[in-house]
Every structure is written in C-alpha cells, then in structure tokens.
Amino acid sequence: MALTACGGGGEPSGSAPANGSQDTGTAGTASEELRQVTVGVMPLVDLAPLHLGMDQGFFEDHGLELELESAQGGAAIIPAVTSGQFEFGFSNPTSVLIAASRGLDIKVIAPGGSSTGDAETDYGATVVLPGSDIDSAADLEGHSVAVNTLNNISDSTVKEAVRQDGGDPSKVDFVEMPFPNMVAAVEQGTVDAAFLVEPFLTAGLNQDMEPVFWNWMEVSPDLMASTYFTTGELAEQDPELVADFQAAIAQSADYAQAHPDETREILTEYTSIPEEAAASLRLPRWSDEVNVDSLQRLIEISSEDGLLEGDLSVDDVVLADQQ
C-alpha cells in the first residue's frame, strides 16, 4: 500500500523511470531540446498530479524531462536536494520547515496535496474503535496514539488538536509505527488511537473505526499537507528552470483537480494501491498556488512543539514569486 505525504524517514531506493508522455509531434529533436531534471519523490497519493502531468506531456511542453528518484521520506530527499543531487524534491512542509530552521538552503516552490476542508471528503483523521472512551481530542490524555513519524507533522497536528480542545498534549503517548500497521494495532488494542491518511483512512473507516478529529482541518481548513521544494541557490542561478517546473506542476494540479477519475486510475500505476481501493479513497485537494497562511500556521505549531531552531518566517522558506 502507498505511503503518505507525512513520510519523514528512509533512504533513496533508486531511480524510478518516468511515465511515458503523450506524443506531442516533436519526435526526433524533442528529446535533445528537453532539460533533464531529477525530482525526489515518494509513492504517495499526493503525487498523482505529477504523474498525470508527465502522462499529459505538460512537463515536455515546458521543456523538461523528469527523472524520478524514489525514497521513503523527506529525510532522504531534503539532503539530496540541498546537496545538488536532485534539482527538486517533495516532502511534507513540516520537514521542510525543520530543515530551513537548521540553516539548510531550502525554498518551497509549489503545493502538493491540501486538505479539502470538509470532514465528508478530507483525507487525514485520528480514529478510534467504536465504543471507545475517547470522544474528543482532549480525551487523548493518558492514551496512546500511533503516528508514522515522531516530531513531525503527524504528532504535531494531533498535539494542536488536543491543545485547541483544552487538553494537555504532553500527556499523550505517541507510538511510532508504519501506516500499514496502524489499523490492526488499533483493532488489537496495541494503541488506543491512530492518525490515518489515505489509503489507510478508508481502510479504517471500512472497519467501522470512528474519526475523533480531522488533523489537517484542526490546524487550517485548507492546510497544505505536502509541498515541492528546491534550493535558494538554484532558484537564483536558474530562475527559468524553476519557473518552468512551477508552471508544469500548476498545470498538472489543475488537471488532476478537474479529472478525479484519471487521478484515481493513475494511482494504481505508481503505487501499490489496488483498483478497488483507489476507486473509493478520499483524494486531496490540489491547488496551483502555495498556501502561505497554511505554512504560517505550521510554523506556529511547530515552534510551540519545539521542532524549529531559532526564529523562522514564511519569507525564509517560500520563494518570493509564490508569496
């Protein structure tokens, strides 16, 4: 099953060949004219627009040929980008904020997936078994919650929900485990609750698990839960390259938002999500603009949780043309 945008660890696992693009009628010389760039990616639902854009030829239209380098999380992708091994990378924004606060030259250039702002359709929630004594975020005090990565966006959003509900997040016991293990862990009583994202959220809901709160929406109704980034150095030295990538990603996001059936279909091509699951899971909302207010909220809660070193502002991490 696919991982999610919350992935925080892992090492690169080798090159993942790009999906074939449609013939644009420029065979022969087209490949010689395209600029080859490497993008660090993960097998996530949030990345569907990237793959759709490659299939539709949007990146070729902007003079780019993408090589996708697969990793399990942003902890491997971020240093590969800042060292110049990859031109662009993908991660959850909290990992990017942490890296920037530690002095790494990193700039957010485009959004990945975002909250839908609607509990009927959103794709991330903290769930419990039916009949649990946990009815609200504050009730998590003294209970265990599974998250995929400690000290990152998963437990940070849980803590914010507990705070907003009048509880003490320091009294919540967070247990790190892979997303594929969480539904069974809740069923077996290994943990009292779990933060699930797609496709695992739908799997849990199909097992009659009950959402206590919707993590993204607790922070911001339109939270940008994943993002594309590069270095400030590359943006300064080759602004045209970065602008072309941004334009292709924006076009791809608009296409994915307008074509949900194609989006679900392509999930089965680059992830291990079965067709039946892809047909019913909740999709993120895709936007063509960086949500600066959302990033500011993440800076605020990350600072409160002690994840950031020193003072950090949106201006420090977002490319100027995206503000």
pLDDT tens digits, 223-279: 999 999 999 999 999 999 999 999 999 999 999 999 999 999 999 999 999 999 999
Q: Are 264 and 279 in contact (CB under 8 A)?
A: yes
Task: For residues 257 and 206, state if they share a domain.
Answer: no
Would you say residue 157 lies in a domain?
A: yes
What is the Cα–Cα distance from 65 to 44, expressed in whole angstroms?
21
Task: For residues 263 and 278, state if they share a domain.
Answer: yes
Q: Given this model, what pLDDT does residue 322 score?
A: 60
- Is the pTM higher than 0.85? yes
Would you say residue 4 lies in a domain?
A: no
Among 278, 286, 303, CA closest to 203: 278
**CATH number of the CATH domain containing 139:** 3.40.190.10
Would you say residue 1 lies in a domain?
A: no
Among 80, 93, 97, 209, CA closest to 146: 209
**C-alpha distance from residue 75 to each of 8, 13, 46, 274, 278 (Å):** 5, 13, 17, 27, 27
Domain endpoint, select from 219, 253, 285: 219
Domain endpoint, select from 200, 219, 238: 219
Q: Using 50, 70 and 90 to split pLDDT, how confident is the model at 320? A: confident
Task: For residues 227 and 215, state if they share a domain.
Answer: no
257 residue type, one letter: Q
Express each pLDDT in 111-125 by its tens digit: 999 999 999 999 999
Task: For residues 308 and 169, state if they share a domain.
Answer: no
Domain that holds residue 245: 15-115+223-322
End-to-end CA distance of the chain: 35
Would you say residue 9 lies in a domain?
A: no
What is the Cα–Cα distance from 98 to 94, expressed in whole angstroms?
6
Overall domain count for the chain: 2
Would you say residue 8 lies in a domain?
A: no
